[in-house]
Amino acid sequence: MSNPTPKHIAIIGCGPSGCFVAQSLQRVWKDAEITIFDRLAVPYGLIRYGVAADHQHTKAITRQFDRAFASGAIRFAGNIEVGTDISLEALREHFDLVILASGRWRDRALTIPGSRLEGIVPSGDIINALNTVPRPNLPLPEIGERVVVVGGGNVAIDMVRFLVKTADDYVGSDVSPEVLNQYLKSPAKSVTVLSRSPIASAKSDVAMVKELGKIPGVRYTFANSSPATEDNTLGRKREDAFAALAELDATEEPRVQVHFVFGAVPSKITGTDSVSEMHLAAAPAGESSVIPADTVISAIGFDVNVPGHSHYAEEIDFTPSESTGKIDTALYRVGWLKRGPVGAIPANRADSNEVAKEIIGDVESGVLSIAAAGSGKRGFDALPEALREQSVSFEQWQKIDEAETAAAGPDRIRQKITHHEDMLAIAHG
């Protein structure tokens, strides 16, 4: 006789990892009631609010999740913050299985001397402002004409792309028009990008580098510390991509000059009250060790374990693991909350599928014992009535979606609603 399978599954976090693991489990356990909780009134987390506003082709992955929610196979329960509105312990009491998929959101801070001066900006603050993240909705930080970006990965490239684009480059996007207009009133004139790694081992995707070459009016230069070895095919492709950028014909008076320095080691930031110079302890031959700057943008990744980050589970050790998603009996984690803040959406899809296989294997082998149907937990229906009424369903999210698309300008795909309370008014109105 086969072991009973979960009838009520709760997932905390409606970003890509949460949606992917829900899909994987639903394909095997078609009779299971799967509820994805999110503290926001809208689904899709990182896809809606973390992916660059001008990368709509990446955001289009939500269409497959739309179908799963619309069919009733998976329930969306927005506007419920686990740890505030309901405890993790209470969810575990009412659901056969709980999966944590809330990601990691806090930028890793620069730790060199001077990193507390005014003018030091985490990349996340810029992304949040451009993507109109609510709860809380924060303004775009002030950005000067001379910008230093610290980091060599895709987020650093995202920052460069934002700094050099014009309004015409955002046609068909969902960028905040107010935030974009604020920046374009006085855009950056020079951008210096500092990567500790040489080009060959930098973390930026070749396609992202090539995309910079499609933006007119920009002059690119670079300095590299060491070339790729013969057997590093990807490294040589990345070097070719940067060489192609440098060979582009820019206008005699480009709008903005972008200079990449690979093999640069920042040592300190100086200034009286605000940033005035970035100092380097190491750099390729011929590069200056002092770079004038009005703004320093930090794009060096996310913190792994920040106190209070997962306030609903402060007692849990979220040290990254590649081997298992299991935390405790009937409690698992996926995505960045499991592996650490590395990898884009495809990596999170693969991780979610692996954790789903782990969970299914635990149930089939009897490692995870589920109570027989009718004798155990009632899932979402067991939650307090006030909490269920507070939640935003997928159908109510569609009202928000319709309002945003209706409010979009002629060259925009949507005009995101700025404040959480305004979303709730539309959803529950």
Residue 114 falls inside a structural domain: no
Residues above pLDDT 90, as percent of the chain = 80
For residues 322 and 342, membership in a common domain is answered with: yes
Where among 244, 277, 298 does a domain terminate? 298
For residues 316 and 406, membership in a common domain is answered with: yes
Q: For 38-82, what is each residue's pLDDT tens digit?
A: 999 999 999 999 898 899 988 999 999 999 999 998 999 999 999
- Least confident range from 84-88, 231-235, 238-242, 354-358: namely 231-235
- How many angstroms separate the CA atoms of 187 and 255, rounded? 9
The confidence band for 373, taking pLDDT boundaries of 50, 70 and 90, is low
For residues 44 and 177, membership in a common domain is answered with: no
The confidence band for 372, taking pLDDT boundaries of 50, 70 and 90, is low
Q: Residues 85-97: what's their mean pLDDT?
A: 95
For residues 231 and 378, membership in a common domain is answered with: no
Question: Peptide bond preceding 320: is omega within 30 degrees of 0, i.e. cis?
Answer: no
User: Is the Cβ–Cβ distance between 62 and 365 less than 8 Å?
Assistant: no
- Residue 97, pLDDT above cutoff 80: yes
For residues 18 and 128, membership in a common domain is answered with: no
Q: pLDDT at position 378, please?
A: 92
The confidence band for 374, taking pLDDT boundaries of 50, 70 and 90, is low
Residue 2 falls inside a structural domain: no
Residues above pLDDT 70, as percent of the chain = 96
- How many angstroms separate the CA atoms of 239 and 14, rounded? 37
3-state secondary structure of 296: strand
For residues 193 and 57, membership in a common domain is answered with: no
- How many angstroms separate the CA atoms of 207 and 346, rounded? 15
Q: Give the residues across from 277 on adjacent strands.
A: 270, 292
For residues 84 and 195, membership in a common domain is answered with: no
The CATH number linked to 275 is 3.50.50.60
For residues 222 and 253, membership in a common domain is answered with: yes
Q: For 387-418, what is each residue's pLDDT tens digit?
A: 999 999 999 999 999 999 999 988 899 999 99
3-state secondary structure of 117: coil
For residues 308 and 266, membership in a common domain is answered with: no
How much is the pTM? 0.93
- Least confident range from 147-161, 340-354, 361-375: namely 361-375
* Distance set, CA 137 to CA 76, 132, 140, 244, 399 (Å): 23, 7, 10, 39, 21
Where among 263, 280, 298 does a domain terminate? 298
DSSP string, 382-427: GS-HHHHHHSBPHHHHHHHHHHHHHT--TTBS------HHHHHHHH
Range of the domain at 278: 120-298
Q: pLDDT at position 6, please?
A: 93
Reading the block at residue 5, the tokens are 């399978």
The CATH number linked to 359 is 3.40.50.720
For residues 382 and 319, membership in a common domain is answered with: yes
At which residue do the structure tokens 């976090």 appear?
13
Q: Give the residues across from 173 on adjacent strands.
A: 412
For residues 149 and 95, membership in a common domain is answered with: no
User: Is the Cβ–Cβ distance between 392 and 39 less than 8 Å?
Assistant: no
Q: pLDDT at position 429, please?
A: 86
Q: For 300-344, what is each residue's pLDDT tens digit?
A: 988 765 544 567 888 888 888 999 999 999 999 999 999 888 888
Residue 3 falls inside a structural domain: no
Q: For 342-357, what is each residue's pLDDT tens digit?
A: 888 999 999 999 999 9
User: Is the Cβ–Cβ distance between 341 and 304 less than 8 Å?
Assistant: yes
Query: Mean pLDDT for the chain?
Result: 92
Q: Residues 139-146: what's their mean pLDDT?
A: 96
- Residue 424, pLDDT above cutoff 50: yes
User: Is the Cβ–Cβ distance between 74 and 358 less than 8 Å?
Assistant: no
Where among 298, 315, 333 does a domain terminate? 298
Q: pLDDT at position 407, please?
A: 95
Residue 366 falls inside a structural domain: yes
Q: pLDDT at position 375, please?
A: 59
User: Is the Cβ–Cβ distance between 397 and 426 less than 8 Å?
Assistant: no
User: Is the Cβ–Cβ distance between 121 and 297 less than 8 Å?
Assistant: yes
3-state secondary structure of 419: coil
For residues 285 and 365, membership in a common domain is answered with: no
What is the rounded (10 degree) CA torsion for 222, 227, 233, 238? Answer: -10
CA 169-123-149 angle, to 5 degrees, is 85
Q: Residues 217-232: what's their mean pLDDT?
A: 88
